[in-house]
Amino acid sequence: MNKRKSITVAVTGLNAIDNPGPGIPVIRCIKESEIFNSKIIGLAYESLEPGIFMHDLIDKTYQIPYPSAGMEVLFERIKHVNSIEKIDVIIPNFDAELYSFIKLKDRLEEIGIKTFLPTIEQFEERHKVNLNSFGDKYGIKVPASHTINSPNEFYKLPSNINFPIAVKGKYYDASIASNIEQAQQHFNKIANKWGLPIIIQEFIDGQELNVTGLGDGNGELISYVSMRKQYITDKGKAWAGVSIEDDNLKNITQNFINKTKWRGAFELEIIKKKDTNDYYLLEINPRIPAWIYLSFGVGNNIPEMLLKLCIGEKVSPSLHYKTGKMFVRYSYDMIVDIEELEQISTLGEL
């Protein structure tokens, strides 16, 4: 058996809560690798992110500034961490931080840190606010969408948008509204959390499906896994799902990769309309999803492949996986010393 390569990987998204970040499942996939012997550096935004205290998965955690602090502050913090840990690869896992990491790509490489992320053009054009034009450009069916900046604008929506509607934040959160009063309540709640604009999307009744995968940046699909949600929380997050094979999903995914030449990880949120069986693309998430551990379970370890792409290794496409495999999430309590919380809160590292 070949000796595994030593690699130091920094990972964000350690908030393993009821609306979990992808960080912990990404780390679990990396730890399962038979290619890499990894040292994991956690990058946390808040001192109570559960992943900070999962010492069996994360070797050391450092706090980093919120994206709102600006790229220069983020870079200086990463530079400091790198001076201690000698990071080989960073895998960012939140939409809101990706812009900064994409823009910092060259500067990170100068200090020895590799990434494999979408281009800034790819990142911008797949935004929810641009979904209509994205669908037109690439020949993909999408629900009718509109952006608004005030609750009063609900009264000005086009006639082809009928209740119920989906009210979505520009980064996260989505709620279904059956009338204008509900819609305005959702608007205020989401806008207060994520800012403006708010996206109003045609509601499509059907089966929720998801695809995650990797594009090589040249139009080739490196790997993918499709799943059907089995249980959805009140926040709309999949708490259980099953891997499926669906030719339509595969064709949509390959079409997306071929036409956009997507670079890096992605998740497609798709709905199969109940009465017509048409497939509609609801969202494109420009990063690994929180259910990524299923990819290891079905034989396509996507985070492992992503690491290989980051360090410039050749990755052969892997488009076959086991179907009928389920993931089921659960929550459990960890017992930690209060001194650990004090240390991450005051020193910014643990």
Q: Where are the domains of the chain?
A: 5-115+332-347, 144-202
pTM: 0.92
Three-class DSSP category at 280 = strand
Q: What is the pLDDT of residue 290?
A: 95
pLDDT(1) > 60: no
Our CA angle for 204, 206, 212, nearest 5°, is 95
Q: Which CATH architecture has domain 144-202?
A: 2-Layer Sandwich (3.30)
Q: What is the pLDDT of residue 172?
A: 77
Looking at residue 42, its amino acid is G
Q: What is the pLDDT of residues 238-276, one digit of tens each?
A: 899 999 999 999 999 999 999 999 999 999 999 999 999
Minimum mean pLDDT among 88-92, 190-194, 221-225: which range?
Answer: 190-194
The per-residue pLDDT of the chain, averaged, comes to 93
Domains 5-115+332-347 and 144-202 alike in fold: no
Q: Which CATH architecture has domain 5-115+332-347?
A: 3-Layer(aba) Sandwich (3.40)
Please tell me the distance from the alpha carbon of residue 199 to that of residue 189, in angstroms, as a whole number: 13
Band of residue 56 on the pLDDT scale cut at 50, 70, 90: very high
Over its C-alpha atoms, the chain yields an Rg (Å, rounded) of: 20
Instruction: Indicate the Cα dihedral angle 74, 77, 78, 82, nearest 10°.
Output: 170
Q: What is the pLDDT of residue 24?
A: 97
Query: Mean pLDDT, to the nearest integer, of 56-84?
Result: 96
Which of 238, 224, 240, 246 is CA-nearest to residue 298?
224
Q: What is the pLDDT of residue 316?
A: 95
Please tell me the distance from the alpha carbon of residue 71 to that of residue 67, in angstroms, as a whole number: 7
Query: Mean pLDDT, to the nearest integer, of 2-17?
Result: 92
Residue that wins the pLDDT comparison between 193 and 292: 292
